[in-house]
Amino acid sequence: MSREPQAEAVIDLDTYRSNLEALRAAAPGALQMPVVKADAYGHGLAPVARAAREAGADWLGVATGAEALALREAGDTGPVLCWLAAPGADFTSLAEADVEVTASSAEQLAEILSGSTRRPKVQLKVDTGLLRNGAFGPQWDLLVEAAVQAQSAGRLEVTGVWSHFACADEPDHPANDEQERVFTESVEQLEAAGIAPRLRHLANSAATLVRPSSHLDLVRVGIASYGISPDAGLQHGVALQPVMTLRGRAVSVKRVPAGRGVSYGHTYVTDRETTLVDVPLGYAEGVLRTASGRARVGVAGAQVPVAGRICMDQLVADVGDLPVARGDVVTLFGPGDDGEPTAQDWAEAAGTIAYEVVTRLGGRIVRTYRGER
């Protein structure tokens, strides 16, 4: 085995911490909850969580209870909130691990209470218009009623009330104002019923960047903390730098004549004599196959096309006459400092969003960390 990985995702934790600082400056009055679900958006849960706390993260947010327990196993002892649980979730372990959980309905609140040996800390989620998770309309009335009863019986502590935007990456979308209005009303209803939680929160990355009216007590920052804009067209003044660089080392280099088909199906045909380089990263690592024939990669400061189909373990780049040798580094995406494409470029090539480009990474990928303290 060579000591250098043949393919790796390099995660720059200095960059991650400075993104969090920039986001904190963008929401100065609010607590910060970096979101580290989905293995920290493909960046690796434990090292990213540690770096977040080093940068002063007040909270960490994850989707599932299993992710919250993984944070505890990794040694994190700070405030953690999770928000996605199907019936049968292990709320006992979460309460014992001092993880705060989210109730999205009166039914779910009952499950949380019946599963808890100690008094759980619960945040209430109101659905203000995403129509996904959370208590909607009359469900909210029932949840408020159930929470008031349980709290006055001393069976739980309601620590927060929150919701999630549907269209925050489109600042002018009328749903944003409407969701904020419904949220304010829902909080007032809760307060009138006798519960005034310490934390009210609504903002994701996009709202943190462009919608100060939604910052309230806490902001939940996901994609922006990894240096990726929630939407390529979103105008904001916050300096964000991509945290991840995905790269591999050329495993074979060959000179081929014009008119030769490349990779499965021969969908790409060389239009001149050229050099082809084989890079050991494929769809098993989460490199999106739908970017075949459209994505570009960075080599020696230039961008060159991916030639034909992305395979399970490898892809081929057409480097033209660039002097590339076996073992040279080929960068699929990164911050763009060396002229390489970004995750956003790959998203456009694959017809998806940059969130998917980074969170899909897995398989045999080795993560290498820079800036670990």
Ligand X SMILES: *Cc1c(COP(=O)(O)O)cnc(C)c1O
Tell me the C-alpha distance between 68 and 354, whole Å.
Answer: 24
Which residue, 166 or 193, has its beta carbon nearer to ligand X? 166
Tokens standing for residue 156: 């739980």
Candidates 5, 44, 160, 230; binder of ligand X (CB under 6 A) is 230
76 Cβ neighbours under 8 A, 6+ residues apart:
49, 50, 53, 60
Which residue, 164 or 215, has its beta carbon nearer to ligand X? 164
37 is catalytic: yes
226 is catalytic: no
Kindly state the smallest distance separating residue 291's Cβ from ligand X, in Å: 21
Q: Does 104 bind ligand X (CB under 6 A)?
A: no
Q: Does 220 bind ligand X (CB under 6 A)?
A: yes
Q: Does 221 bind ligand X (CB under 6 A)?
A: yes
**149-178: which residues touch ligand X (CB under 6 A)?**
164
**35-64: which residues touch ligand X (CB under 6 A)?**
35, 37, 63
Which residue, 97 or 167, has its beta carbon nearer to ligand X? 167
**With CB under 6 A as the contact rule, which of the stretches 181-189, 214-222, 243-251, 340-348 interacts with ligand X?**
214-222
Tell me the C-alpha distance between 267 and 288, whole Å.
Answer: 17
Candidates 160, 222, 286, 334; binder of ligand X (CB under 6 A) is 222
x/- mask, ligand X, residues 194-213, rule CB under 6 A, reads ----------xx--------
Kindly state the smallest distance separating residue 352's Cβ from ligand X, in Å: 15
Biggest CA-to-CA distance, the chain: 80
- Beta strand ranges found along 30-137 (DSSP E): 31-34, 60-64, 80-84, 101-103, 121-125
Give residue 70's Cα distance to chain centre.
16
Q: Are 216 and 200 in contact (CB under 8 A)?
A: yes
Residue with tokens 């609010």, as numbered in its chain: 30
Helix (H) or strand (E) holding 262: strand 261-262
- Residues tagged active-site: 37, 264
